[in-house]
Amino acid sequence: MLAMYSMALLISQSQPPQLELERIVVTGARPLSTIEVVKDPKAPQQPLPAHDGADYLKSIPGFSLIRKGGTSGDPVFRGAAGSRVTISSDDQMVLGGCSGRMDPPTAYINPQNYDQIRIIKGPQTVLYGPAAGTVLFERNSYQFDPEQSPGQVSLVGGSFGRLDANADYIAGNDSGFLRVNSSYSEADNYHDGADEAINSAYQRWGVDTQMGWTPDDDTVVLLTVGQSGAEAAYADRMMDGALFDRTSASLRWRESYLTDWLAELDTQVYFGYVDHVMDNYSLREFTPSMHMPNPAVKNPDRYSRGGRIVATLDTKLWSKFQLGLDHQYHSHRERVSMNQFVMPYQAKARIADATIEQTGVFVETNFALTNNSALLSGMRVDFWQALDQRQQLGSMAMSQPNPTADESRSDELTSGFLRFERTEGAHQFYVGLGRGERFPDFWELIGNQNQSETTISAFNIAPELTHQLDIGHHVRSNNLEVLINAFYNRVDDFILIESGPMMNPNTVRSIKAESWGGEAAISYRPSPNWLVDASVAYTHGSNLTDRRALAQQPPLELKLGAEYKIHDWTLAGLWRVVDNQHRVAIGQGNIAGSDFKETSGFSTLAVNGHWRIDRNWRLSIGVDNLMDKRYAEHLSTAGAAVSGFEQTTQVNEPGRTFWFKLDYHL
């Protein structure tokens, strides 16, 4: 998807408040290199400031959002969802617990708790695993600087009961520091453009504490402990999320200049635990149905642990040489009560259904061919193991033995890339080739009791193999900036999920697929006060095996924006135009959603203003969906029958939304 809006970008997260903010307006993200873009999640933005990771990513070129309610949407990059997109927070992989994707990894991420968001497009790095795209939510506090701002607090308010509060504070001295990030967010059920209420209320909170020991300028030992909780209503399913509890911890040691040849050694270990409860009565009026005649509860949980060690070598041949090892382990369990008041789930034992383990070794290099050109490359080998611990498949009333019970599988997968980059004056361009072998994730192997074409278990579905060509060109001058990215993608053993009849398992198949497309953005400043910009993004996917469209692909999208600065005010508008999508494959999709209808195009208009009150205070105000249009994103899920709400064909977007954001820099 494309994204374009007006925004001011901080020169750095911890910039002293007395310095003027650098105001760069681009199509959603500032280029960091030819293949990377970076965003400052604390900066002003349009539309309404995001409360979770997926909500934020939807504004970046190439990204889309699968809406299920008011929160916890699934991010999609160039038509790729789920584990095809790597999501990392402080280099940790903490996955969700829900078999139905109520809680993708971004559901546990509040963007404003981080200093920057880096996006690496395509399989053009091996440091974080094979993926169609890599998203890194990062904090940059490794040394305490008393001359920098100790933090900031912000408050967001808006229509439909929206209320967010965020605080980021750091204190310390030369020997160490303490940093605390905290957030709280809530909203009522929103109304669409036709004033129909959508089951979408939520409440979220989170606290992350970092304690750093810095005995010298080259050493940091960092302990991070996090805790969060939430509840959320969903408009696309028979249950709501009554509990999302997350606990995480990480210990990191980073040492620089250990020897003449070892420039840096970065070591980290972490663990995460997610406890999730979904039910059909606590956040909605209970309505008996044929499949759920009584109050029902499902309580999955996931335990994760992992670590990584990355060494950066200082060599005369390579301008940058990194090698390392990473590991992750996930254990998933579940307990179910189909009559909570008679047989409470709390009294039942948790039953393990799967464990998945990965160990990878990798090397990534940057070789300077000349002063203006470089050759980047990388390779990794991943060793995967999975164990199917399910003894029975199917519903409690119609269960049958699992043919892959207690069966394990092992796969050795290889990924790599090669990229050429060149800079000539204001021009920068690249061409890259990438290969990625992806192990099937939990939701493809186990989730929702998926079956294969030949058996009632999908546990032995083949890994996915992707080959991709990426090209790009970036031009930056005093008053003009142009950024173009394009890709062609060919996938063998693409893991396709086909929807079964109501309440029946989905079928997981391997097909051949291809996709192509890209993003383009232009930003032009005709005068010091004015800035205009535009962006476009498109993805075209094909199912080569079935000779039809590849499901769950976003439509063509265009954004046009303008910004005017006068004194301490910045006024801006954003017009978003989305094409219809007739290239669909009804009943096919991925772990996050499936195609069920063609969709019409739409356009929306948003306006906003930012007022720098003084060196410390900043106020942002805006109106999204100014014309109060009723519409739904193409990828958003189908509406479910929720008692007290009108059932909609799709989960519609919010109607006209007024909002404000107040920031105070300490």
Domains parsed from the chain with CATH numbers:
30-665 (2.40.170.20)
Q: Which pLDDT score, from 0 to 100, does residue 12 have?
A: 31
Pairing of strands 464-476, 116-121: unpaired
- Winning range, highest mean pLDDT, from 11-20, 90-99, 338-347: 338-347
- Which amino acid is present at 607? V
Among 28-42, 333-347, 399-413, 531-545, the least confident range:
28-42
For residues 146 and 479, give the distance between their C-alpha atoms in angstroms, rounded to a whole number: 35
pLDDT (tens digit per residue) in 201-258: 999 999 999 999 999 999 999 999 999 999 999 999 999 999 999 999 999 999 998 8
Burial of 657 (0-12, 13-18, 19+ CB in 10 A): buried
8 Å CB contact between 252 and 268: yes
Handedness of CA 500, 506, 511, 515 (dihedral sign): positive
Confidence band, pLDDT 50/70/90 cuts, at residue 10 = very low
8 Å CB contact between 324 and 362: yes
For residues 245 and 207, give the distance between their C-alpha atoms in angstroms, rounded to a whole number: 12
Closest residue by Cα to residue 76 from 87, 88, 62, 64:
64
8 Å CB contact between 505 and 450: yes
Confidence band, pLDDT 50/70/90 cuts, at residue 515 = very high
Q: Which pLDDT score, from 0 to 100, does residue 29 have?
A: 54
Pairing of strands 617-624, 657-665: antiparallel
pLDDT (tens digit per residue) in 246-258: 999 999 999 998 8
User: What residue has token string 């149905």?
Assistant: 289
Q: Which pLDDT score, from 0 to 100, does residue 30 have?
A: 60
Average pLDDT taken over every residue of the chain: 91
Peptide bond into 47 cis (omega under 30): yes
Closest residue by Cα to residue 237 from 279, 192, 189:
279
